[in-house]
Amino acid sequence: STDLASMFSVPNGRWEYLDLTVWNEEAHRHNVLNKMVPYTKWLGSHSTLARKSLSTRRCVYDVDLSTYSVVPLPEETSTTISIPISASGRAHALVGSWVAFESLEQRESLKLDSQSDYLGRSLTWPHYVQAVALPSTDLGVLRPIEVRAGQEVQVQLVVRNGNMKRTGAAGPELSFSVIPPPTDGLETSNKQDEL
């Protein structure tokens, strides 16, 4: 949605009659397309931010926090994951969040996550947002990626631990890169419709 895109860029590089492409160029300079950024209250269940999920939530990485930093982990791993698209639209970002379980066996019954009706958790549980854009996008305008229901988008997941982390994250640090698909006739659009 353009509301979500407005959190990290100026959609279409313009605000009314003002050319603000320099803001998007600065976002590129700060690697907005290469890192997950935490947001709390903007994406909780009580948020009024207009947005639409184009895929179903799913786990892409597990970590046992009771043994994290006790058992040695690889400093950096990389894997390709496939994200099935469930609704057609324009993808502006990848959005993720942590889910805490007492145990893997009880992951559906005993958990804490961002989908709580409790206002306090909705306002404080972090969501992580990483902007995505067409590979051919210029620096001044971040063009969303058109996706269609039934399509699978390939994403490279990099997990960093220990000295390889680039932020002050307490646990593992995750970053994603959308792998451009082979040209398959998907049209791209300059429109910034609501998703």
Q: What is the reported pTM?
A: 0.71
b/e for 36-72, b at 16 or more Cβ within 10 A? bbebeeebbeebeeebeebbeeeeeeeeeeeeeeeee
> What confidence tier does 193 reach under pLDDT thresholds 50, 70, 90?
very low
Give 74-88 pLDDT, tens digit per residue.
Answer: 889 999 999 999 999
Residue 86: predicted pLDDT: 94
Torsion of CA 69, 74, 76, 82, to 10 degrees: -100
CB distance 28 to 139 below 8 Å: yes
Closest CA to 55 of 132, 110, 120: 132
> What confidence tier does 185 reach under pLDDT thresholds 50, 70, 90?
very low
Give 170-183 pLDDT, tens digit per residue.
Answer: 778 888 888 876 65
